[in-house]
Amino acid sequence: MKQPVPLAPHDPPPPGPLLAGPAPLPPASQRKRTPLRRAGYAVAAPLIHGVVRALWATARVRVVVGAEHLDAALAAHPACVPTLWHEELVAGCAFLVDAFRRRGRPLAFLVSPSVDGDLVEKVVLRAGGVVVRGSATRNGVKSLRDLYRLMRKQGASPFFTPDGPTGPAREAKAGALMLAQLAGMPLLPLSVRPRRAWRLRTWDRLLVPLPFTRVTVAFGPPRDVPADLAGDALELGATAELTSELEGLRALATR
C-alpha cells in the first residue's frame, strides 16, 4: 500500500484557521427576498415577539447561583460575553433580553445573513437587541470582528453559544473566548434551564419552555481571557475549562 509522503522540513504547514479562509459553505438557501416575503415578515415579527413575550411573562424565573456576577461584569466593563449552551437558546435569549433591558445595556445577537435571518433580525430588534448579520460557518472571522466592534463602540454584549451553530452539543469551541480576549472584556458563563419544556429533535435537542414553567438560572464568575493565552492553551485548555464550567452550571440549574 502506498504510504503518504511526509512534508519536507522546509514545506510550511497549513496556515492557521483564521488565515485559511472561511469553512466550506453549506448549501445556500434558495429563498428569495420577494415583496410578499418581506410583507409576511413585517406582520410575523411583531406577532412572534408578542407571543414569546406573553409566554415568557408566565415563567417564574429564579437565579440560584451567582446573581451578583452580571452586575459585577457590567460594572467593571462596558460589555461582556454572556455564554450558554445552544440547547438553552430560547430561555437564555428571553432571560438575557430582560436582564439587559432592565440594566439599560444593549445585548447583541449574531443573526444569519440568510433570508430567514431577516425575520429573526426583525424580532430581535423589536426586543431591543442589536444585530450583526453573519454566520459562524460562512464568515466567522468577519462576524467575530463585527461583534468586537459592537462591544468596543456601542458597549453591546454579544450573546454567544460556544457549541453552535452546528455542535457537537455541549462541547465549547474557542470563538467566545477569542472574542472576549480580543475585546479585553470578560466572558460570563451561565445556564438557563426551564423545568418544563419541549425538546426538539435538533442536533442540540433545543429546549422550548412551556407556559408557566419554572426557570432556574446559574451564573459563573466573569472570566477574563489573558491577552497572551494562545495556541493549545486557548484552543484546547481554555475551551475544555469552559465546557466543564458550563456543564457544572447546567447541573446546578437542573437541580
Partner 1 sequence: MTTRQETLETLARIAGVDAATLAPEQHLVVDLGIDSPKALRLLVELEDRLDVEIEDEDAAGLKTVGDVLAYVARVGG
Judged by CB, which is closer to partner 1: 201, or 232?
Answer: 232
92 vs 175, beta carbon nearer partner 1? 175
Minimum distance of partner 1 from residue 25's CB (angstroms): 11
Nearer to partner 1 by C-beta: 127 or 178? 178
Q: Measured from the CB of residue 151, what is the shortest distance to partner 1 in angstroms?
A: 11
Query: For helices 115-126 and 35-57, what crossing angle results, to 10°?
Result: 40
Nearest approach in angstroms of CB 103 to partner 1 is 27
> Nearer to partner 1 by C-beta: 112 or 181?
181
Binding site for partner 1 (CB under 8 A): 12-13, 15-22, 139-142, 144-145, 148, 174, 178, 181-182, 229-231, 234-235
- The residue (of 7 and 208) whose beta carbon lies closer to partner 1 is 7
Q: For residues 224 and 235, which CB has a smaller minimum distance to partner 1 in the complex?
A: 235
Shortest gap between Cβ of 37 and partner 1 (angstroms)?
27
Grid coordinates given for 173? 469551541
Cα distance between residue 225 and residue 134, in whole Å: 24
CB 236, min distance to partner 1, A: 12
Q: Give least dist CB 246 to partner 1, A.
A: 21
